[in-house]
Amino acid sequence: MPELPEVESTVRELKKNILGDFLQDVWSEKERKDLKRVEGKRIEEIRRFGKNISFFLDNGEILLIHLRMTGHLLLGNWELKKNSATEKEEWWSKEPILQDKRNGFLRVIFFLASGKQVALSDPRKFAKVSLLQKKEMEKIIQELGPNPLSIKKKEFKKLFEGRKKEIKPLLMDQAFLAGIGNIYAAEILFKAKVNPCKKASLLKEEEVERIYYFTREILKKGIKLKGDSTSDYRLPSGKKGGYQECHLVYKRDNLPCFECKEKIKRTVVGSRGTYYCPSCQKKE
DNA sequence: GCTGCTGTTGGCGG
DNA sequence: CCCGCCAACAGCAG
């Protein structure tokens, strides 16, 4: 699932390849006349806000992409061919990138002046692509919580004041902190030795401090390993990230805890699958 | 082949 | 305001 480390890895790889390039043409599976406005525009900046990817264009508009659950962006080289049998358009790749099935669900393709292409592959079609004015973008940024990688400890601790919610759904609340999702929330709370359903208001100061420290440590590790490809996420190159190789608790139910050998459990907290060690992450 | 699970976000209703 | 539930959708395990 694309969370902060996956989106950050995507943005970094895109910046290396297409910063300053010009958008020339757009193809989309669903009719998107509005996206035609990007044609001829230069990509002046590419930035991450929480789990959002934003392309700042030279006319002041912002192309915003949210990958939701199964979306990911690919750099590639495809050509469009007609399938006469169904009259449906099909994409064929010249590169081995599409040999990975996850990379074959192309919904939108941006053609750049350099000849490069950026495609959105998204099996479940949940990803959101929109073209925003500056004001609309500012509103989105304003509604997001702080960046967990830049907030200071003092400010972080303040966020918890008066919050009654369970800690895991709170960490995943994008208005509380921007960028944490189900996988990293579980990993962070395991390292911090905090039970995922403990009410935030009941957390001791040391617990909040550990959450602060390990939020940063785990997210940075996620970025270093270029994200988690447990599910559909791939880098723009089409390759997998590496975080799925070092899960501490996520998807490890019934396997021994790396700290105490107790069996990892799966429960549901805030209607999300939640993995934790019942012995290392006691509620009291 | 069918059912239910997966998990992000927004919208709805209690 | 806050919570839970569901829909958007499609692949996939059982």
The answer to whether strand B lies under 7 Å from the CB of residue A66 is yes
Give the residue among A48, A4, A50 at the shortest CA–CA distance from A176. A50
Q: What pLDDT was estimated at residue A101? A: 83
Q: What pLDDT was estimated at residue A97? A: 74
Q: Could you confirm whether A216 is annotated as catalytic?
A: no
List, for residues A29-63, the tens digit of each pLDDT value: 888 889 999 999 999 999 999 999 999 999 999 99
Cα dihedral A65, A127, A225, A206 in deg (nearest 10): 90
The answer to whether strand B lies under 7 Å from the CB of residue A64 is no
H-only helix segments in chain A: 4-18, 134-143, 153-159, 167-172, 182-191, 205-224
Measure the CA–CA gap between A67 and A123, rounded to whole angstroms. 11
| Separation in Å: C1 C1' and A95 CA | 52
In the Cβ-directed half-sphere of A248, how many Cα atoms lie within 13 Å?
22
Strand partners, A66: A52, A128
Measure the CA–CA gap between A176 and A188, rounded to whole angstroms. 16
- The single residue listed with the structure tokens 């019934």 is A254
| Separation in Å: C12 C1' and A89 CA | 25
> Which nucleotides of chain C have an atom under 7 angstroms from any protein CB?
2-6, 8-12
The answer to whether strand B lies under 7 Å from the CB of residue A239 is no
Residues A123 and A232 sit within 8 Å (Cβ to Cβ): yes
The answer to whether strand C lies under 7 Å from the CB of residue A128 is no
Residues A84 and A149 sit within 8 Å (Cβ to Cβ): no
Q: What pLDDT was estimated at residue A234? A: 93
List, for residues A224-241, the tens digit of each pLDDT value: 999 999 989 999 999 999
Q: Tell how far CA A11 is from the center of its chain.
A: 10
Q: In sequence order, which residues have a C-beta less than 8 Å from that of residue A97 and are 6 or more positions away?
A: A74, A76, A103, A237, A238
Q: Could you confirm whether A2 is annotated as catalytic?
A: yes
Structure tokens at A80: 């469009």
Q: Which nucleotide is nearest to A51 (CA to C1')?
A: B8
Measure the CA–CA gap between A30 and A37, rounded to whole angstroms. 16
Q: String of b and e for A144-167 (b: at least 16 CB within 10 Å)?
A: bbbebbebeeeebbebbeeeeebb
Measured in degrees and rounded to the nearest 5, phi and psi for residue A214 equal -80, -25
Q: What pLDDT was estimated at residue A102? A: 87
Q: Which of A8, A13, A48, A51 is catalytic?
A: A51
| Separation in Å: B2 C1' and A123 CA | 21
The answer to whether strand B lies under 7 Å from the CB of residue A69 is yes
Q: What pLDDT was estimated at residue A172? A: 93
Q: Could you confirm whether A8 is annotated as catalytic?
A: no
- The single residue listed with the structure tokens 């702080």 is A146
Residue nearest to nucleotide C6 (CA to C1'): A271
Q: Tell how far CA A179 is from the center of its chain.
A: 7
Q: Which of A3, A8, A166, A187 is catalytic?
A: A3
Q: What pLDDT was estimated at residue A91? A: 64
| Separation in Å: C12 C1' and A232 CA | 12
Q: Which of A29, A157, A272, A278 is catalytic?
A: A272
Structure tokens at A128: 């959101």
| Below-50 pLDDT ranges, chain A | 86
Measure the CA–CA gap between A7 and A66, rounded to whole angstroms. 9
Instruction: Name the 3-class secondary structure at A149.
Output: coil
The answer to whether strand B lies under 7 Å from the CB of residue A71 is no
